[in-house]
Amino acid sequence: MRYTKAENVEAAASAVANGAVPLAGGTILVPAIARCEHQDHTFVDISGLAALTRIETTDSLLLLGSMVTLDGLASAAAKHNGTPARRALFQAAQAVGNPQVRRSGTIGGNIAAGVATVDVYPALLALEAQVTSLHGGTSETVPISELSTAGRLITTIQVPTDGETRSAFRKFAWRASAGITLANVAVCLRIRDAAILSARIVVGGVSARAQRLAKAEQLLADKPANQWTRDLIDEAARIGSMEATCDLPAPPSPEYRRRLIAAGVRETLSEILL
Amino acid sequence: MMKDAEQLDIALNVNGVARPAKVEPFLTLQACLHHRLGFREVRYGCGEGVCGACMVLVDGEPKSSCLILAVQAQGRNIVTADGLDVYFAQNKNTVAAGLRAQLTARQAFQCGYCSCGVMVSAAHHIASEASVTPSSLKTALSGNMCRCTGYQQMMEATLATSQREPAPQSPVQRGDLPVKMSGAAGYPTDQKTAGPLIGKILWAQYPSARISSIDTRAAAAVPGVEAVLTHRDIPKQNSTGATSFGNDQPLLAVDRVRTMADAVALVAARDEAAAAEALKLIQVTYEPLQPITDLPGAIEPGSAKNVTAQFVQETGDVDAAFRTADLVVTGRYSNEINDHACMELEGGTAWMEDGTLMIAVPHQTAESGQRAVSKMLGISQDNVRIISQNMGGSFGKYAAFTIEGYLGLLAYHLQKPVRLVLGRDEILQRRSKRHPSYGDYRLALTRDGRFLALDATILTDAGPYVGLTPAVAAVIGAEASASYNIPSVRSRVRGILTNNLPTIPMRGYGSQQISFGVESIVEQAAHKLGMDPADLRKRNYKKTRTDGWGHPIPGKDFWLTQTMDRVRELLGPPPLCPPGWHYGRGVTTIHAKYGYPYGMVDRFVVKVGVNKDGQFRVECDISDSGTAVTNEMARLLAKGLGLTKLPEYVQSRAAIDDPSGIAFGRGHRPSWLKSAAYRTMEWVQMTGAKSLLVITARITNPRNLVRLQRVIARPANFFIKMAGNFKSWVFPFSRESFQPRFGSSRSLSMCAGAVLDGVERFKKTVLEVGAKEFSSDVSELQLDGEGVYHSSDTSRRLSWAALAQRAGGDLAVVGEIHNPVGPLLDPSTGNQTGAVDFMDGSHGCDLLIRPDTGQVRILKYVAVHDVGYAFNPEALRGQILGGITMGIGQAIFESMKVQDGKVLNTGLHDYLVATTLDLPEEVKVEILESGNGMGPYGSKGIGESGAVAAPIAIANALYNALGMQLETIPSTPEKLAAMADAGAGQRSAIAV
Ligand SMILES: Cc1cc2nc3c(=O)[nH]c(=O)nc-3n(C[C@H](O)[C@H](O)[C@H](O)COP(=O)(O)OP(=O)(O)OC[C@H]3O[C@@H](n4cnc5c(N)ncnc54)[C@H](O)[C@@H]3O)c2cc1C
Ligand code: FES
Ligand code: FES
């Protein structure tokens, strides 16, 4: 195994383009390195790059460097909690692991890890985040759903926001701290003139990658405020939990995971609508 | 092919001091600090950011040093637990010193392994948070796992520190805690970490297979590999495991593997990578066989095949009682396997020192480990030493054996230091577990709730080797009547051989298994009768305390009713149940036996003495797994002699080398000849006693068993009579020397008894030495905290140091405690006999469950225990709190995924040890002192009982909330949610 420390973002990006693996917070990579699982890899340490740790907010955008830690994100929540639009993101960051994992783990790592049970990635998917990455010297910004990380260094994440958006997130795990996500649900609704303009419901932790629940989203689209009832929410939860693909081989069973999805959809929608 | 790893020069700043180091790029900061730089306070429990044992401040932030590479820490400011005081003091902040004082005064730790990580998190939280609240604190400590304490006392200490309260004046001095709360402790995995070879184990690939060949050539050729050993390299006896009942477990597999826990080969190499590479290259040709993994599937009706232990006991006329009963309730209750999940990993280092093989591993009974290794290597037991003064947890895991055999073989073969520490995945997947059991229970009652008869048939899975299964089966069977007066009881327990993991007791030999079954059937009876479960229990409690022979001891009633009444008071009125949740209350009682119920032996020996510098010491071969026993021994010695300074506790086998104490009493060490002779005599008796156990384990008719035991015991009785009151060094042993030194709940009362005896003997000896010096009579001398003086001329005095010098530099005696030995197992009353005592207590809890997800919220948990006499109430409270927290996990989420004999859990991220955020919202523990125990001052054991009762109280509360009874523990939220659906119609409102 080889270790190099990146001097700047450009050098890091070019190392990554040449096959080096970015080492960010290390919460996933370091335990694997210690188990001798990466003997043939070259790592480029991006943890010292201050350029990747900025947090900026404008009226329409929250801009996050890829090295912003989950704790940094969650404590930014203290400042921005009044923004219901991004609530799901803060809730997801707070739901990750335990204090030390949140202090080390980064938002970039959460996106790039490609692990089924991550929490922040589904929230970003629901919030229609855009991700900027460098392939060598070339920069590219794509919707997070279209991101491919091969040979790329993620530099920033842009979370759009406006006065019409409301979001919420729920995670289910059996242990309250450092519990593995058994299912999570991120919901993002755009509400205009007392009606749901559009809905995005994302479920993670039940399949290899987070997925959208199109039928449940459809049920909610265009629903005016006078129809925001428990029944509507229950129906969305029922439909959503049925349509989700639950195919992780590990226990608990797909049936149980569907229960969790239903509970998650019900709770997030209730938080926003009721 | 391996090449030597690249080494990088780095400069770390640790606790304000520049520390250069040479590191490989893959070395973690934890390994660098702990192994290379000697910061032993930076401990290790998981290597994946879950447990927090490795926590340090990095640039002022608490981080897991196992999640950081050492190279990444270049130029960072690192502060370990030992550096906290200085670090915070720079900013005139006394938080660290205050915290340390509070944690010690409140006895916040037990084994102490988690303590350094906890202090880093807690100090940072106090220093950085404007107002520390119980809930902010729970979150702040939620990345620090503690297996022992249940977290309450450390949270109380942290809160008090944040409010700048002075540390409470503790009546109890704890010499062990400040040591454990720093790098000075010296746990087995701390020993000789720099430079040893790295050992690894090649485990079986199948739970059951024949081995046709093992080829180690390619592995041995890997550069850096120094040894690849198989069964062929074992000089003498290829065996490991608990050998009390049989020698059936090989240290290294020969031509057969019977469980995933079998080891096939050992590797020692210069580094991790070479060792890992070598493991991959060992070629083992297997012929897989169909494994037996399902308990009922392992037995054939009417056949003794696969039955390794059998216990049958019947009192009264069970069948008649069932025929005439008003009500009969039946149920099947089981418990799955559990891992002890000690925070310190299993392992250590072995090395040669002046011809002696030194092995630092966790071990509850170093003596038996030494014996096993010496037999395996064919060397004298005098040339093997196990060092395990402190252990990062045990809970029974290290009661019989640990990895001393593997370490010993590697280090002895190579004559070099070897470090072998199992990964958490290996501990979960390859090491012994608590006996899983399942049983069919029938209870016969009268209409008004009097128990008439209990019939229990229980199967318990031993794994492929006998281990301690006969003892566990015996306890399961003998405890069948639990807290209750049941006129007719039949219990049939069989220990079954399977290809699952081997077994070892965990917090109680089988108590958990049987208590869950009995308390569940009682709870079900209450539902059927429509009776209050607490009242039904109270109606049937055993009242009169009996001795080990079943004879009533007048005036010493069991305090079961008192504990239950107090539990109900503490629970108070039921809380409001929020919408979307179901509420349930559960209570249970614990009346578990402890002691030596075999009617044979119960003896402890302890050496107490003073050296020429006036330093007092207590020595015995007990390891400290966190029960405060070693500290208590030191306290009792100080109290007995009026010393102001707490004596030191040292783990040694001195008292075993000279059990008569005669040599020490004269200020000598016993000659090697004499200690060899003692050891031989002990061996003869051990072997005798052991063959007795082996034979008896095969006998199923208790009457024959007792007859046989009586015959064998006869000569031993003669020796006891011979030894009588005068202590003859000719007969230092009697039949009670069988396994004389053993730790469990009772070790405190036993050790205390031995120290108190030692104090008396010590006083006598020093008076004799003084009398000789002053040429006067013993009756003219007196003792005080400083030494001996002449009553008529107080200027004539000899200090402790002077006394020791007069006696040749070291003045010591051996104190001992014998519990009465009596007739053996009594088939007519079903009572196990001998030195048996009972841990009594009641628990209760209020909880909420969400029927859709199965999520459980424990609102309130209360426990009331009769401890007989509390030597150290706060330490007892800590034991119970720890048991409750362990019990929460074991009721609900400490579940192992097992498939065809293979455990799939890989670490603490998926074996769910409870954290601060899983605790009940409110916990209350109370201690009653009946003075009824068999220990000194009427004290009792306590350790296991909290952990035994807690899952049952929770299970009963869930039953009341769901209207469906839990048949298995743990029952995960997945199961609970399914039960909620099924029970939706049946919910009955039972108010307690
Ligand atoms: C005990 C524990 C509990 C956890 N619990 C949770 C949980 O509850 N929820 C959850 O979501 N996660 C959890 N995690 C996983 C992990 O901590 C987080 O997902 C974290 O966000 C990963 O970030 P990192 O910076 O540590 O990643 P790293 O380990 O540094 O990297 C992870 C992967 O991402 C790649 N990568 C990192 N940064 C970039 C970048 N800028 N550009 C391209 N590729 C990059 C790396 O090359 C690597 O392949 C847990 C981890 C641990 C150890
Ligand atoms: S060893 Fe680092 S968190 Fe467990
Ligand atoms: S005291 Fe915390 S793990 Fe033992």
Q: Indicate the average pLDDT of chain B.
A: 87
CA distance B507 to chain A (A): 22
Mean pLDDT value of segment B468-476: 82
Q: Give chain A's radius of gyration (CA, Å).
A: 19
Q: B322 to each of B444, B451, B487, B529, how far by Cα in Å?
A: 6, 11, 12, 17
B56, B59, B72, B921, best to mutate vs chain A, most A CBs in 10 Å: B72
Task: State pLDDT tens for residues B607-641.
Answer: 999 999 999 999 988 888 888 888 989 999 999 99
SS3 call for B954: helix
SS3 call for B882: helix
Q: Which residues pair with B201 in a beta bridge?
A: B266
Please state, in angstroms and rounded to a whole number, the distance separating the CA atoms of residues A239 and B190.
55
Would the pTM of this model clear 0.90, i.e. be above it?
A: yes
Which residues of chain B does A172 touch, with a Cβ-Cβ cutoff of 8 Å?
Answer: 853, 855
Which residues of chain B does A99 touch, with a Cβ-Cβ cutoff of 8 Å?
Answer: 62, 121, 139-140, 142-143
- Judge if the beta carbon of residue B31 lies within 6 A of ligand 2: no
The token pair at B308 is: 């390794």
- The atom number, within ligand 2, closest to the CA of B51 reads 4
Q: Which residues numbered 245-264 in A keep a CB inside 8 Å of some CB on B?
A: 250-253, 256, 259-260, 262-263
In sequence order, which ranges of chain A are alpha helices (DSSP H)?
9-17, 29-34, 70-80, 87-95, 99-104, 107-112, 120-126, 214-220, 230-243, 254-273
- The atom number, within ligand 2, closest to the CA of B54 reads 2
Please state, in angstroms and rounded to a whole number, the distance separating the CA atoms of residues B424 and B154.
25
Residue B682 or B203, more confident? B203
Please state, in angstroms and rounded to a whole number, the distance separating the CA atoms of residues B99 and B94.
8
Which residues of chain B does A5 touch, with a Cβ-Cβ cutoff of 8 Å?
Answer: 71-72
Do B974 and A253 make contact, defined as CB atoms within 8 angstroms?
Answer: yes
Q: What is the pLDDT of residue B816?
A: 79
Whether the CB-CB separation of B262 and B193 falls below 8 Å is answered with no
* pLDDT above 70 as % of chain B: 86
- Judge if the beta carbon of residue B50 lies within 6 A of ligand 2: yes
Do B49 and A27 make contact, defined as CB atoms within 8 angstroms?
Answer: yes
Residue B63 Cα to ligand 2 middle (Å): 9
- Judge if the beta carbon of residue B343 lies within 6 A of ligand 2: no
CA distance A30 to chain B (A): 5
- The atom number, within ligand 1, closest to the CA of A121 reads 11
The token pair at B896 is: 């192992």
Do A259 and B55 make contact, defined as CB atoms within 8 angstroms?
Answer: no
Do A180 and B909 make contact, defined as CB atoms within 8 angstroms?
Answer: yes
Q: What is the pLDDT of residue B703?
A: 46
Residue A83 or B81, more confident? B81
Helix (H) or strand (E) holding B154: helix B152-162
Among chain A residues, the shortest Cα distance to B140 is held by A99
Task: State pLDDT tens for residues B91-134.
Answer: 888 999 999 999 999 999 999 999 999 999 999 999 999 899 99
Residue B437 Cα to ligand 3 middle (Å): 28
- Quickly count: other Cβ atoms within 10 Å of residue B133's Cβ: 11
Task: State pLDDT tens for residues B746-784.
Answer: 677 778 888 998 999 999 999 999 999 999 999 999 999
What 3 state SS string does B779-816 have?
HHEEEECCEEEECCCCCCEEEHHHHHHHCCCEEEEEEE
Q: Which of B785, B761, B788, B762 is nearest to B777 (CA)?
A: B788
Q: B375 to each of B384, B437, B744, how far by Cα in Å?
A: 10, 33, 26
Whether the CB-CB separation of B896 and B903 falls below 8 Å is answered with yes
Place of tokens 């070019």: A14
Residue B366 Cα to ligand 2 middle (Å): 28
Please state, in angstroms and rounded to a whole number, the distance separating the CA atoms of residues B97 and B95.
6
Residue B950 Cα to ligand 3 middle (Å): 19
Strand segments, DSSP code E, in B897-953 are 898-899, 902-903, 922-928
B396 HSE (CA, 13 A, CB side): 24
- Quickly count: other Cβ atoms within 10 Å of residue B327's Cβ: 14
Residue B25 Cα to ligand 1 middle (Å): 20
Which residues of chain A does B62 touch, with a Cβ-Cβ cutoff of 8 Å?
Answer: 99-100, 103
Whether the CB-CB separation of B492 and B311 falls below 8 Å is answered with yes
- DSSP single-letter state for residue B503: B
Pocket of ligand 1 (CB under 6 A): A 21-29, 66, 70, 96-97, 101, 104-106, 108-110, 112-113, 118-120, 149, 153-154, 178, 181; B 48-50, 909
The token pair at B801 is: 């140091």
Q: What is the pLDDT of residue B663?
A: 62
Do A1 and B143 make contact, defined as CB atoms within 8 angstroms?
Answer: no
| B946 — pLDDT class (breaks 50, 70, 90) | confident
Please state, in angstroms and rounded to a whole number, the distance separating the CA atoms of residues A6 and A150.
18
Q: What is the pLDDT of residue B467?
A: 86
Q: Pick from B8, B68, B908: which is nearest to A26 by CB?
A: B68
- The atom number, within ligand 1, closest to the CA of A21 reads 47
Residue B271 Cα to ligand 2 middle (Å): 21
Which of B82-96, B122-136, B296-310 has the lowest average pLDDT? B296-310
| B733 — pLDDT class (breaks 50, 70, 90) | very low
Mean pLDDT value of segment B294-305: 80
What 3 state SS string does B268-298 have?
EECCHHHHHHHHHHCEEEEEECCCCCCCHHH
Task: Tell how strand B77-79 and strand B55-58 pair up.
Answer: antiparallel
Task: State pLDDT tens for residues B637-689.
Answer: 999 999 999 999 988 877 766 666 666 665 566 677 766 766 665 555 445 54
Q: Which of B56, B652, B769, B693 is nearest to B367 (CA)?
A: B652
Is the pLDDT at B722 greater than 50? The verdict is no
Is the pLDDT at B728 greater than 80? The verdict is no
| B5 — pLDDT class (breaks 50, 70, 90) | low
Whether the CB-CB separation of A134 and A153 falls below 8 Å is answered with yes
Q: What is the pLDDT of residue B679?
A: 61
- Judge if the beta carbon of residue B114 lies within 6 A of ligand 2: no
Whether the CB-CB separation of B446 and B483 falls below 8 Å is answered with no
For residue A252, is the peptide bond before it cis, meaning its omega torsion is within 30 degrees of 0?
Answer: yes
Which residues of chain B does A98 touch, with a Cβ-Cβ cutoff of 8 Å?
Answer: 49-50, 52, 142-143, 915
Q: Which of B89, B94, B241, B267 is nearest to B167 (CA)?
A: B94
The token pair at B432 is: 């012994």
Which region, left, alpha or beta, applies to residue B355 given φ > 0 means left and ψ of -120 to 50 means alpha?
left
Residue B140 Cα to ligand 3 middle (Å): 17
Is the pLDDT at B600 greater than 60? The verdict is no
Is the pLDDT at B255 greater than 90? The verdict is yes
Query: Residue A141: CB partners within 8 Å, gap ≥ 6?
Result: A130, A131, A132, A133, A158
Whether the CB-CB separation of A118 and A202 falls below 8 Å is answered with no
Sign of CA pseudo-dihedral B727, B728, B733, B735: negative
CA-closest residue to ligand 1 atom 27 = A109
For residue A254, is the peptide bond before it cis, meaning its omega torsion is within 30 degrees of 0?
Answer: no
- Judge if the beta carbon of residue B49 lies within 6 A of ligand 2: yes
Q: Which residues numbered 8-37 in A keep a CB inside 8 Å of some CB on B?
A: 23, 25-27, 30-31, 33-36
- DSSP single-letter state for residue A114: -
Q: What is the pLDDT of residue B832?
A: 45
Q: What is the pLDDT of residue A45?
A: 98
CA-closest residue to ligand 1 atom 25 = A25
Q: What's the full length of chain B, in residues?
A: 992
Whether the CB-CB separation of A212 and A187 falls below 8 Å is answered with no
Residue B185 Cα to ligand 3 middle (Å): 13
| B605 — pLDDT class (breaks 50, 70, 90) | confident
Please state, in angstroms and rounded to a whole number, the distance separating the CA atoms of residues B903 and B293.
12
Pocket of ligand 3 (CB under 6 A): B 109-114, 146-149, 343, 393, 626
Identity of the highest mean pLDDT range in B131-140, B390-399, B613-622, B868-877 = B131-140
**Digits of tens for pLDDT over chain A (274 positions)?**
899 999 999 999 999 999 999 999 999 999 999 988 888 899 999 999 999 999 998 878 899 999 999 999 987 766 765 578 889 999 999 999 999 999 999 999 999 999 999 999 999 999 999 999 999 999 999 999 999 999 999 999 999 988 899 999 999 999 999 999 999 999 999 999 999 999 999 999 999 999 999 999 999 999 999 999 999 999 999 999 999 999 999 899 999 999 999 999 999 999 999 9
Helix (H) or strand (E) holding B105: helix B95-105
Phi, psi of A198, deg, nearest 5: -150, 155
Place of tokens 């009572």: B831
Query: Residue B302: CB partners within 8 Å, gap ≥ 6?
Result: none
Whether the CB-CB separation of B539 and B901 falls below 8 Å is answered with no
The token pair at A197 is: 């303009």
Phi, psi of B340, deg, nearest 5: -65, -30
Q: What is the pLDDT of residue B681?
A: 57
| B706 — pLDDT class (breaks 50, 70, 90) | very low
Is the pLDDT at B206 greater than 70? The verdict is yes
Mutate to test the pocket of ligand 1, among A118, A131, A184 (most ligand atoms within 8 A of CB): A118
